[in-house]
Structure 1
Amino acid sequence: MCSPQEPSMMAVGVRMATRSRSCARGAGSRGGGEEAVPLRRGEAAAEGRQSHCPVKRQRKAQRLCVAYEAADGDGEEGKGAEPLQAPGWEPQDWRRQLANIRTMRSRKDAPVDQLGAEHCYDPSAPPKVRRYQVLVSLMLSSQTKDQVTAGAMQRLRARGLTVDSVLQMDDSTLGALIHPVGFWRSKVKYIKQTSAILQQCYGGDIPSSVAELVALPGVGPKMAHLAMAVAWGTVSGIAVDTHVHRIANRLRWTRKQTKAPEQTRAALEEWLPRELWGEINTLLVGFGQQTCLPLHPRCQTCLNQALCPAAQGL
């Protein structure tokens, strides 16, 4: 505890320090008005012994109470300083796991690599039409294998896949063209409704934001993020489908087990470096199609067998 006499002792300390500095200026001058050069520890001790500054009888050492204040940024040392933050959570061995998946996917011979949304549109069509075809292919791909989606897109493109051509088709014709994609009857309705909105509100183009895309009938978050990446060239988030959701949980890439793809997306975006967001969907989807299968995963051929928590229980 600081004693009540502390202010007077501090005042004594100030007077003593002032008197010492006055003596040091007289004894430490090196002629010609040169500035004093900082001394090393040994030199400082030697010069102190040679000082001729008159010193009165030494008083008994006083015990001072020193108080320390937390730096608030007002001082010179506090300027520009940023508060230290605890390192964020990240999965164990995730970099090694990712490197192994890249190695296993280096041949790029999974169905998604040849038949994914970025391969289903007509590259010779005008940009607005290409973007519309990307969105339609994504709407068809839900709960459907890439091979089936690609076949439906070929039949639609042969009829001229534009907003106007789809709106001119009757439901039975559109249904026959997209069958047998999963939930094809519902997708007929969603594609017709979405096409009408695009014609009325967006001049036949697709929206350029996730919020507007998910507001369209039959368009979910995964489709919206993929549409932003493929159609607009913008990485807006991680596109998480059943493959990404399954693999992220098997590798423990989420802090805790997640029950839905959107929970997985939020969990991954908390720690995965943003520069990897655009890559992770195609990488994990192909890995899930070839190796990390939903049933009977091929752990014996997986480079991550020793690093995968799920493989240890199989």
Structure 2
Amino acid sequence: MAEEGTYEALLEEQASHLSRLRIERGYPPLRAIEERASKLFAEEKASLPIATQSAAFNGKYVGLDKLMWLVRSLMSWDEYGDDCTPPGRRAPELNQWRTRWTQITCARPKRRKPTAPPADGMLTTPGFSFPPIGGRTDHQVHVIWLLDCSHSMIGEKAGQLNYAMRETIAELRGVASMHPTVKLEMQAATFGAGARWHTEGPVDVDLATWRDLDVDESGSACDMGAAFRLAARALHVPPMPQQSPPPILALISNTQPTDDWRSGLRELSAAPWGSQTVRIAIPIGADADHGVLDEFLNNPGLRPIDASAAPSHVAAASSWAAKVAEQLAADDDDDDVW
């Protein structure tokens, strides 16, 4: 958490308000927001690409026009997700957004000259090396999903999860477009009776398509430990590179595991990249075991992200993976104006 009143803290506050507004207006997809802005504000020649939206929602600096188009577009849906008339350019309800943008702009640091990397060329996270000054080298950010497809997910919850994954892939594409020298890849595994890969190997997010999940209807098994073992094998070198930003490991769970999940978790943490993963845990519904999720996170400062079992909330929780990916991909580019 950035120190209160700083440039970074003000950006985080603005991003939080934007995310809340989006959720309040039915959590419209980024593509729908882009299309609506172009249609509603054609006379203003509005341009609101997904990359710009993703930057704003992830706490990056955006220009005033872009911010106002985004806010007004979101306000063109009412609290029930139905169409409504957006506020005009001088509407009083926009004043708070202009005031916040002005505070951010005043606090914005002047452009810095690049500094040399540490002598050993490494960040505090082992395995992540600075690209050389004068020319960045491509590096990869990996996102691995572990998705509960046990019997408890039959029906509405499976649909919510499919919706959330499609929305998250769109957000990850926005992150990738913001960082063209970073290769952003994802893969997903499902678990119920056993565990299996839902995607064949890491897939570039720009090429990723989402195939609806098949829920295990054969019984009550929830083999989360098997999913941990599957992920552990993906965190060896290879297939992981020797040097990379830390992989992101996101677990979505709806019930209690039925296998020896602790031994699977130990195997995961013992993998070459296992202890370096940035972990996200998302419970869906009241039956998810928060104690298991806390042990998976293995960080007393982190808590599972409550998805509240609503489609928009599940998508909002899942989008944290995109926020983390954006932070890992960033390379001192916080002076970019979108």
| TM-score, with length taken from structure 1 | 0.26
Question: Which structure: greater helix fraction?
Answer: 1
Q: Which has the larger radius of gyration?
A: 1
